[in-house]
Structure 1
Amino acid sequence: MADEFLIVKRRELFDQVWSAPMTKIAPKYGLSGVGLAKVCKKHKIPKPPVGHWAKLEHGKGSPQPELPELNDTDLEEIRFFRAGFEPVTKHVDAVATTPEIVVKDDLRNPHRLVDQAREKLRSETAGYRGLVSVGSQCCLDISVTKKSLTRALRILEALIRYWESVGGCVSAGDPGTRFARDEDGVSISISEQIVRHEKPRKDRYFKEYTYEATGKLTLSIDEWGEGLRKSWSDGKVQRLESVLGNVAVALEKWVLHERERRLDRQCEERQEREAMKTREAKKASAELESERIKNLEACANDWGRAGQIRDYLADLDGKIASQTIKPIDPESFAKWMPWAQWYADSICPITPTPPRPETDEPIARINKSTEHLDLTAKTRQRLKQGQVSDTDELAELTKHQLEERCGGRYSNMYREVTRVLEGVGYDISARSRW
């Protein structure tokens, strides 16, 4: 977003703070003089001493130091996250004297929004309280009797014309009438005060009322803001037409207030994003640490088991060598001992694993003719069609090759062939059953 931050070079800020008092420079960055002084301190930018500008004003000397060089390149750029306050502040200062806003006696050549509202509201039927309004449609937010409609439109006409003359913009729709400057604005409405009278009735459980239009109008700012005025009404002497200048001043303050709220929200969102990054980094670090611990404990356990097995084998070998004990089956024991030593090495995390010694006779692989295999009728027909002669040839075929050679896709055939090959002793570990 355009207002997220403003990047200023360290040299540029140094030149600025020595060209004018910091209280005049600070608002440009949405800071106070004290806030800007803290920024200068962080980035090692010398500030004018107390009395510097007074000395210059009276023709006395007050030397300007050189900007010191830094080794830290990160300090060479300053990011201000409140850039852009100055334009709104200027508008507030410009209307601080309360402008004079004149309400015309007629609605000749009205503003397009006023003309649009007049056309829509005149065609509306008054509600049960006698007021006309169009709710959330694209229209100025007006809720008055038809008798007061022209006056309400003239008041908004004057206020809209003034606001646009000082660089603001006005829109109508949902929500209501919005007076804005750049991205920030507030919604306002104009309504008529209605007095409710209870009808006399004998039935005390059900009440009926009549509504009386007072002709008194209220202009409201429909936002939340502590300490800011948000409504102006007709009184015994005061008329809304006479306080539109005060409304304009308040609008500028409200827009600044909304701008501050928006920038605060953006600031909080940035804070949350940074905090979230840290939380996620900590979580990832904790998960990684947990995995390290699990791996370390597993390795230590395997190392301990391997050591126990080796100690056991050494003790066993010693007992047999001293003829303290004798193996029941010396031939099997001679094969078992190398296997047991291999197993200890295989589970030890710090010992290279040697080739596994053969302890049992390998399962014989029998190469059979496909004619003598126990096959389903469909698979037998397909293999015959593909001229697959024996299991050695069949074991070399991939699923895709088998389908191409034996004609079309037949998913069950590959699974069946794999089962059959396993049954006659072939290693199917590299084959998928699917």
Structure 2
Amino acid sequence: METEQLSRQVRRVSRDELFELVWRRPMSRLAEEFGISGNGLAKICDRLRIPYPPRGYWAKKDAGKPVTTRDLPPRPAGVPEWVDIHPTPPMPPAPPPIEFPPEAALAADVAVPETIDNLHPKIAAWLRQHEREQREREQENRRRKHDPWSFAKPLFEDLTPRDLYRFRVTSAICTAVERAGGKVADAPIRGKMVFVVSSHKVACTIVEKMVQQPVRPEGEAPKWSAYPEHHQSGLHSSGYLRVTIDTYLNRRQYQWIETSKVKISDLLGEIVGTIIAAGPILAEEQRRREESARQSREAEARRREAQRLRELDDGRWRQFRARAIDWEERGRLLEFVQELQRVLETEGDAEVGEKLISEWIEWARAKIAALDPLRNGAREFFKSL
């Protein structure tokens, strides 16, 4: 425990000290004490121009074989004498497993339909969309036949078995989510779904898993989808679906991929349970963000208030020192006025400008009195700061 605590502290070591350490015990063990990797320690030694044992040095030494040590060369210009070794931060703990809320059990009896006769309304709309696009393309091409400068566009392909399978799986997921209390907010035919659970949006992608398309000597592979433009060119269907919850939950992205032995129908409960569990998870994450933002605002307010008080205190101290200077100036001026008064008594009064010398002295006394910071007492003095 003590070694672990030491490895979590920043260590400042000198170049000479680090040189002695790397030749005293293996780099991997020393690096562990510093809380860094052996490669990180080697980089520090390289930066400080510190030679360290080569690979196999400690094995030879333990076996009693002769080994060669090196001296620490003089420190080159620009190379620091000290280094602060910061330990690598520990890995964050693994997120806790998701607990499915009781509502998820309401969708336990939902299964992937065998046909497309009774799909979820939003998925059934995909069928109508495809039929409409096919019909509109056919009508457009018929119009283009009468225009010698127009060329017919390719017709929309019929939906393939892979398309229809994805439709059926997506329909089952949508039905199950709604059965468990969620909503289907957006369902584009590309498969980038958006569910709403507990007022929080959960993005989910239900698409074909793509693989690199092998070169076929017999020519181009047959069409596997009526919408090849929805997928990256050069890739081909793997024959399996991939379901991904794109919204991160507990710093993790959840994903399921079919295999030859495990189908989406086998994973439906887990997928829907995770989607439904996303609502409370996102609500808790939002609460934490809002709490963190509140604490940040309060910390910023405290910082601003502390800064205001510091500035106020600095201003008061500047005024205090300025009043002390006025006090010193007042004493010096009073001595000067007293000397003027003595000269006046010796030479006699006379008119200078618009005033007599005695009036000028009274004028100066009034100005000097205004410099007295204590003329109204200590209480008024500190109130004025």
TM-score of the pair, normalised by structure 2: 0.52
Helix, strand or coil at the partner of 2:286: helix
- Give the one of 248, 261, 267 matched to 2:291: 267
Q: Is the 8 A contact 2:177 2:275 kept in 1?
A: no
How far did 1:195 drift? Answer: 2.9
| 1:159 aligned residue | 173
How far did 1:315 drift? Answer: 2.9
| 1:330 aligned residue | 350
Helix, strand or coil at the partner of 1:224: strand
User: Within 2, Cα distance between the matches of 1:223 and 1:316?
Assistant: 88
Paired residue type of 1:150: L
| 1:303 aligned residue | 327
| 1:235 aligned residue | 259
How far did 1:313 drift? Answer: 0.8
Correspondences of 1:311-390 after superposition (within 5 Å): 311-321=335-345, 323=346, 326=347, 330-332=350-352, 333-351=357-375
User: Within 2, Cα distance between the matches of 1:263 and 1:287?
Assistant: 36
User: Within 2, Cα distance between the matches of 1:216 and 1:307?
Assistant: 97
User: Within 1, Cα distance between the matches of 2:234 and 2:302?
Assistant: 63
| 1:245 aligned residue | 269
Question: Aligned pair 1:186/2:202, yes or no?
Answer: yes
- Give the one of 213, 237, 247 matched to 1:197: 213
How far did 1:226 drift? Answer: 5.2
Deviations 1:10-60 (Å, cap 9, x if unpaired)? xxxxxxxxxxxxxxxxxxxxxxxxxxxxxxxxxxxxxxxxxxxxxxxxxxx
Deviations 1:197-255 (Å, cap 9, x if unpaired)? 35499xxxxxxx85433331111111334586712222112211222112122223333
User: Within 2, Cα distance between the matches of 1:264 and 1:280?
Assistant: 24
| 1:107 aligned residue | 116
User: Within 1, Cα distance between the matches of 2:115 and 2:187?
Assistant: 24
How far did 1:103 drift? Answer: 1.6
User: Within 2, Cα distance between the matches of 1:210 and 1:288?
Assistant: 69
User: Within 2, Cα distance between the matches of 1:349 and 1:296?
Assistant: 9
User: Within 2, Cα distance between the matches of 1:245 and 1:287?
Assistant: 62
Deviations 1:65-91 (Å, cap 9, x if unpaired)? xxxxxxxxxxxxxxxxxxxxxxx97x6
User: Within 1, Cα distance between the matches of 2:166 and 2:113?
Assistant: 12
Q: Is the 8 A contact 1:103 1:155 kept in 2?
A: yes
How far did 1:115 drift? Answer: 3.0
- Give the count of matched residue pairs: 234
Question: Aligned pair 1:255/2:269, yes or no?
Answer: no
Helix, strand or coil at the partner of 2:101: helix
Helix, strand or coil at the partner of 1:223: strand
Helix, strand or coil at the partner of 1:291: helix
Helix, strand or coil at the partner of 1:230: strand
User: Within 1, Cα distance between the matches of 2:216 and 2:179?
Assistant: 53
Is there any run of 5+ residues in structure 1 with no aligned partner, and where? Answer: 1-87, 126-144, 202-208, 353-434
User: Within 2, Cα distance between the matches of 1:255 and 1:170?
Assistant: 13
How far did 1:286 drift? Answer: 1.4
- Give the one of 278, 288, 291 matched to 2:302: 278
Q: Is the 8 A contact 2:206 2:242 kept in 1?
A: yes
* Larger of the two Rg values belongs to structure: 1
Q: Is the 8 A contact 2:110 2:175 kept in 1?
A: no
User: Within 2, Cα distance between the matches of 1:121 and 1:297?
Assistant: 85
Paired residue type of 1:331: E
How far did 1:292 drift? Answer: 1.4
User: Within 1, Cα distance between the matches of 2:289 and 2:130?
Assistant: 37
